[in-house]
């Protein structure tokens, strides 16, 4: 399952994402929570200490590669297995939650 949350600034996106992350984890789901905000606060809503957030390694653009599709189109694809991305760049929040930051 993939869930993306979008909306205007100040509309509660981070709060909703934090609540959904916690609920899914409580129900036994493994969750990779990705913070793509230029002002990353998702970790704070999940209980991650500010110092831990500052030390987190953001995902670099190099984790993606461009691949050719039919008709001359292209798409972006992970350049490494998803689990490797989570291991190298994720901050473990709990047994079931890993936080990944893009820090665009």
* Boundaries of every domain in the chain: 13-101
Q: How confident is the model at residue 104 (pLDDT cuts 50, 70, 90)?
A: low
What number of other Cβ atoms are within 10 A of residue 71's Cβ?
Answer: 5
Distances (CA, A) of 18 to 11, 60, 70, 100: 14, 23, 38, 13
pLDDT of res. 5: 92
Q: What is the largest CA-CA distance in the chain?
A: 47
pLDDT of res. 52: 87
The predicted-structure confidence for 16-68, as pLDDT tens digits, reads as follows 999 999 999 999 999 999 998 878 889 989 999 988 888 888 899 999 999 99
Its pTM stands at 0.83
């Amino acid at each position: 399952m993939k869930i993306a949350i979008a909306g205007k600034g100040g509309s509660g996106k981070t709060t909703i994402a934090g609540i959904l992350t916690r609920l899914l984890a409580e129900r036994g789901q493994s969750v990779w929570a990705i913070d793509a905000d230029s002002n990353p606060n998702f970790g704070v809503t999940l209980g991650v200490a500010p110092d831990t957030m500052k030390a987190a390694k953001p995902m670099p653009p190099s984790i993606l590669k461009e691949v050719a599709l039919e008709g001359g189109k292209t798409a972006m694809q992970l350049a490494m297995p998803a689990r490797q991305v989570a291991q190298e760049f994720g901050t473990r929040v709990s047994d079931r939650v890993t936080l990944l930051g893009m820090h665009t």
